[in-house]
Structure formats: C-alpha cells, structure tokens
Amino acid sequence: MELLAIVAHPDDADIFCGGTLAKHADRGDTVTIAHLTSGEYGGLESATDIASVREEEARRSGETLGVAAVEFLGFEDGRIEYTLENRLSIVETIRTFAPDVILTHYRDDMHPDHRVTSRLVTDAYYMASLPLVETPSDPCDPENVYYFGKPTSEFEPSVYVDITGYEDVKADAIRQHESQVEFLQSHGGIDAEFDNLVDGVAAENTVLGKQTGVDSAEGFRPFHETTRAYLE
C-alpha cells in the first residue's frame, strides 16, 4: 500500500501521524511525506537559514520513521493561499506518488496554513482523478483521505490507529526537529499546548489509546466512511 502525508510544515507529520507512518513503513508499505512549506516562520533568525535547517531536520526525521521519500513543494510558510495554481501543484504531487491513502490536516485548526492545506488537499484529491485536468503525471484515484487534528480544534477522530510499540520511534522523529522543539518551548503563547512537545504529544496519544483499549493511538477522520480500514 502507498501512503502520502501532505502537511503544511516540517514536524506536522511527526506530531500528528508519525506513529502511523512508522508502523506502515515498518510493515512494508511505501510512505511519503510532502511538505507544502519549509517552515521558515518557525524561528527567530533568518527565514532562509531556518528553512534550510528545518528541511534537513525533516529529512532526518523521515529516515527515523522509515519513509521512502521526503518532499518540499515550495509554498510560503504562513502564506499558503487557496489558488488554482496551488491546487494543481498538489494534484501533480498526488499523481506523482499515486497513493492509496492521503493523510492531511483537518479543516478546523488554529493555524491558517493548516486550514488552507486541508481544503487544498481535499479538492486536489478529487481533481487528481479527472482525465481532463492536465498536469505532467497521469490521473490517479486514491481510495480515501484521512484527516488528523489538534486537540484545540473541533476535531473528533472516528478512526484510531494503535501505535503501541512505535512510541519511541515517533518521539525520536519529533526530536530530530531540534530547532522547532526549542522554538516552541521559548515561544509559548498560543503554542503553549506544545511547550513540552515530545511529552505533550505522547500524553495525547495515551489519551487516544485509552479510548480504544490500547497503550497509545493516533486519531483520524476519513473523508469517506467505508467498511474497509485502510489505516491500521
């Protein structure tokens, strides 16, 4: 099976679905993470320097999770806009990797980039299958989109993935984003929920796990409600 996580920033995939990605990669599925931006607003220094650091951190994190590819689409951090050009760029990314399943942000989120990413990916998912929508790659038809969300949003998962046994891999992947772990702890304010990023994420996964009788879990909401569970 092919999984494609399309996220706004480096570290988003690790925080929200890193255990799921590691689990699927470990069982032999092909996993790709596509970042719309390089996260250049996630720091206090030069945006160019921050982008370079965060891209390298994301590549190290991808190696930790065991993913097949880590991509950057070149959108501007904090300035992702809903445009036809951006939608077609994501259509092409979907067609390039031809995934069975796409993972992305839920529509209700405090971060504007997350909200726009959700809308772009949802609409690109539909357009990727249309033969008359022209991009360099051939059309493809992914089975479903699975959304992940933040505890501060209206997000309520209906699909839970047991990531018991992958907690340490997920934590190690998040720690690869060293610049962001430090920035979030010093930034505080509206990002206070992630002041202790690794421990906070682990605690959230423990809470989700208790809801389904396992030690640790990640939660998702599928775009289509189906009888087949593509994420396990």
In a domain, 230, yes or no: no
Please report whether residue 232 resides in a domain: no
> Considering the domain boundaries, does residue 229 fall inside one?
no
Chain-centre distance of CA 177, in angstroms? Answer: 14
Angle at 41 between CA 12 and CA 62, to 5 degrees: 35
In a domain, 115, yes or no: yes
Q: Which has the higher per-residue pLDDT, 195 or 215?
A: 215
For residue 96, is it within any domain? yes
Q: In what order do the strands lie in the sheet with 69-72?
A: 69-72, 30-35, 2-7, 101-105, 144-148, 217-222, 159-162
Task: Domain count for the chain, please give it.
Answer: 1
Query: For 19-77, what is each residue's pLDDT tens digit?
Result: 999 999 999 999 999 999 998 766 556 556 888 888 999 999 999 999 999 999 999 99
Domain CATH number, residue 148:
3.40.50.10320
Instruction: Provide the pLDDT confidence category of residue 189 given band limits of 50, 70 and 90.
Output: very low
Q: Let me know: does 125 contact 102? Beta carbons within 8 Å.
A: yes
Helix, strand, coil in percent for the chain, rounding step 5: 45, 15, 40
Q: Is residue 231 one of the residues assigned to a domain?
A: no
Position 180 confidence tier, pLDDT thresholds 50, 70, 90:
low
Q: Which residue range(s) make up the domain with 138?
A: 2-222
Q: CA 3 → CA 22, 31, 112, 135, 159, distances in Å?
A: 11, 5, 24, 21, 16
Phi, psi of 17 (to 5 degrees): -145, 20
Q: What is the pLDDT of residues 87-146, one digit of tens each?
A: 999 999 999 999 999 999 999 988 899 999 999 999 999 999 999 999 999 999 999 999
For residues 89 and 27, give the distance between their C-alpha atoms in angstroms, rounded to a whole number.
30
pLDDT interval class at 192 (50, 70, 90): very low
| Assigned domain for 132 exists | yes
